[in-house]
Structure 1
Amino acid sequence: MQVIEDFGRFEGIEETAASIGVYDGVHVGHQAVINQLLSEANRLGVAPAVVTFDRHPALVLRPENAPKLLNSLDQKLELLDAAGIEYVYLIEFSPDRAHTMPEDFVREVFVKRLQVRSVVVGEDFHFGRARLGNIDTLRKFGMEMGFEVHAVKLLHHDDKWPEPVSSTAVRRALAGGDVRTAAAMLGRYHEIRGKVVLGDRRGMTIGFPTANIPVSMAMAWPADAVYAGWYTRPDGSRYMAAINIGRRPTFYEHAQQSLLEAHLLDFEGDLYGEEARVEFVELLRSEHRFDGIEPLVKQLRIDVALSREILMAEPSHQKP
């Protein structure tokens, strides 16, 4: 996959079928659009391309209310690559870009840059200054400028989750600790990445050493609680884990920031300084304060046993 940030330094773009969006999470709704996009590209004999942004537009338009991100830019590009996209046009989202009129945006990006033959977007798509552009205006521009437009219907997770699948819905599920629903909407387990830092070694002293990862304020994390999940090391080795997110109230009365602590099952070794990938499979319990070390250790043994039972039952020990 080729990532284009500056068309002035890029040559050789071919005709494309393209989609556009923030693509935060690359969830199953996004995947439905991508699948239609790949089908269109195959039908027309052109390259599949995605237009996306270097940051969430809300960080520019309303930074005080910008949502937490489901994945980093690097993760998003990895997911688009794995989905079969050949070109990603990565646009710097700035105040000037936010004021681009819909017709100007279409002419510059789709027609001039991407030589688009077909555009595939979700049926709720809006674009351009003040979100003035929508499916109807995009179809109008397509008729004038020579490209097709296809709108993909919104997906619904199930009857118990009536709102359409969206990045917002995934964030809401995570905020409630419902990592199973989040995984169903993402089409994979929700994953957190970060560098393992040196902790206070309390886990080591009570027999449950952990890999400690600080909570990034920019990313969407599951609610403070205990989860069963997976820990992947930089070499690709993958371990079952009992994961705690929280402020460790048994040891700290007024901790200011949550920490992710992953206890790897069947592992001995040093994890400090390595880049970790942690996937969340199932909520075990809420975090709470214990009256001393003994009841905490007793509960941790239960958490580890339950994590092993849940993870061993997962299909292929890998997929949601």
Structure 2
Amino acid sequence: MGCDQSWDHEEASRVGTQVSFGLVQVITDLNAIPRGLFAAGSIVTIGAYDGLHVGHREIIEQVTKKAHADRQTSVLVTFSPHPAQILRPNEAPKLLTDRDQKLRLLESTGIDAVVVIAFDRIQAEETPEDFVKRVLVDALHVQRLIVGEDFCFGKDRRGNVELLLKLGGQYGFSVEPSHLVAGHDDVTASSTYIRSLVQNGDIEAANMYLGRQHELTGTVVHGDARGRTIGFPTANVEVSKALCEPGDGVYAGWYVRPARDGQPERVYPAAINIGRRPTFYVDAPVSLIEAHVIGETDIDLYGEVATLRFVARLRGEIKFSGIEELKAQLMRDVENAKTALASN
């Protein structure tokens, strides 16, 4: 039995087990399901669930409430990696949540079990009918299935609500399409739409649809230390290229240091710059993420894992005429960040 508390595709394929992450059973091998877990049947939802946004949470809430009322097991079935990374890697969307963040968020929903299907080219060839029989019926003993009304799955995305209703009649489970949630501007909550908001720098709208602050987790690496020389030291946070980064600009946010060496998690206010630093570089190839921890000038962050939570966009990226103009703006950025964070 494996003990990896993450959704690593290679590990899921190689080890294939059931593990526990807090209160959630994480199942990566349908042949290793704990005895009796689905003896009374299950209420299931299926999907990529990237971002765990407000629409996702509404569906999960329906699942958990009905499972509790019926004394059955609530289950979320998802895939790792994201199917698009296998089927169309050059067009795969940037992810709103990495695997560990998704698990943490799912733990807070009250779902009983998460089934992670290792997605590869072989899995992509499975027909919707075979998937339903193998996973939902034989393994999970599904009694009720709740999915978004636009849900598609299986080879060529041929599986949909209409087919599920037919298969439910054949195997004895009910299907309940869930109406997708509209946001404050009547746009339907979707991972695709939220990604576009994040990438365009509209963090406040993205956070509204997410129901939380968008965050990125990475490792603090050495940079050119230029910020320290002008009185604004920054932590250079390197994140996975698979994750959805906010558009270039300066943001108010929170810098989270993980619990370690007996110390609890520590959260600091921060001014976060994402960009190519045009004041110093003409053609920087990629944008960097640099976080200035407000009020702290002498803490060693190198090599640590850092989580950045984005609260508000303060301004776009600017090319300054010189160091003094840049420093003056950085002072304003820090004050503006403090103001933005005061109510968050």
User: Scaled by the length of structure 2, what TM-score is found?
Assistant: 0.88
The residue that corresponds to 1:318 in the other structure is: none
- Paired residue type of 1:87: A
**Aligned 1:61-140 pairs, distance under 5 A:** 61-140=87-166
The residue that corresponds to 2:4 in the other structure is: none
Is 1:239 matched with 2:268? yes
Q: Deviations over 1:282-303 (max 9, x none)?
A: 1100011111100000000000
Q: Is the 8 A contact 2:217 2:239 kept in 1?
A: no
- Paired residue type of 1:210: T
How far the C-alpha of 1:7 sits from its partner, in A, is 2.2
- Paired residue type of 1:110: L
The residue that corresponds to 1:10 in the other structure is: 33
The residue that corresponds to 1:293 in the other structure is: 323
**C-alpha distance in structure 2 between counterparts of 1:155 and 1:169, whole Å:** 12
**C-alpha distance in structure 1 between counterparts of 2:340 and 2:34, whole Å:** 50
Is 1:273 matched with 2:296? no
**Aligned 1:73-222 pairs, distance under 5 A:** 73-159=99-185, 162-222=186-246
How far the C-alpha of 1:42 sits from its partner, in A, is 1.3
Q: Is the 8 A contact 1:154 1:165 kept in 2?
A: yes
- Paired residue type of 2:341: L
Instruction: Quote the sequence identity (%).
Output: 48
Q: Is the 8 A contact 1:28 1:165 kept in 2?
A: yes
Q: Is the 8 A contact 1:16 1:116 kept in 2?
A: yes
Q: Deviations over 1:223-242 (max 9, x none)?
A: 01000011110121101100
- Paired residue type of 1:177: G
Q: Is the 8 A contact 2:25 2:113 kept in 1?
A: yes
Unpaired segments ≥5 residues, structure 1:
315-320
Q: Is the 8 A contact 2:203 2:310 kept in 1?
A: yes
The residue that corresponds to 1:249 in the other structure is: 278
Over the aligned positions, Cα root-mean-square deviation in angstroms equals: 1.1
How far the C-alpha of 1:215 sits from its partner, in A, is 4.6
Q: Is the 8 A contact 1:49 1:87 kept in 2?
A: yes
The residue that corresponds to 2:56 in the other structure is: 30
**C-alpha distance in structure 2 between counterparts of 1:185 and 1:69, whole Å:** 15
- Paired residue type of 1:290: F
**C-alpha distance in structure 2 between counterparts of 1:155 and 1:85, whole Å:** 20
**C-alpha distance in structure 2 between counterparts of 1:243 and 1:253, whole Å:** 21
Is 1:39 matched with 2:65? yes
- Paired residue type of 1:184: M
**C-alpha distance in structure 2 between counterparts of 1:204 and 1:62, whole Å:** 42
User: Scaled by the length of structure 1, what TM-score is found?
Assistant: 0.95
Q: Is the 8 A contact 2:30 2:135 kept in 1?
A: no
- Paired residue type of 2:224: D
Unpaired segments ≥5 residues, structure 2:
1-23, 260-264
**C-alpha distance in structure 2 between counterparts of 1:7 and 1:158, whole Å:** 40
- Paired residue type of 2:256: T
**C-alpha distance in structure 2 between counterparts of 1:6 and 1:216, whole Å:** 26
Q: Deviations over 1:104-161 (max 9, x none)?
A: 11111111111111111111111111111111211111122111211111111123xx
Q: Deviations over 1:191-248 (max 9, x none)?
A: 0000001111111110101111125321100001000011110121101100000111
The match for 2:250 among 226, 250, 255 is 226
Q: Is the 8 A contact 2:77 2:115 kept in 1?
A: yes
Q: Deviations over 1:155-190 (max 9, x none)?
A: 11123xx43111100110011100001101111010
**C-alpha distance in structure 2 between counterparts of 1:24 and 1:166, whole Å:** 9
Q: Is the 8 A contact 2:216 2:239 kept in 1?
A: no
**C-alpha distance in structure 1 between counterparts of 2:204 and 2:34, whole Å:** 44
- Structure 1 residues 210-219 or 43-52, which shifts more? 210-219
- Structure 1 residues 304-313 or 246-255, which shifts more? 246-255
How far the C-alpha of 1:253 sits from its partner, in A, is 1.6
The residue that corresponds to 1:262 in the other structure is: 291
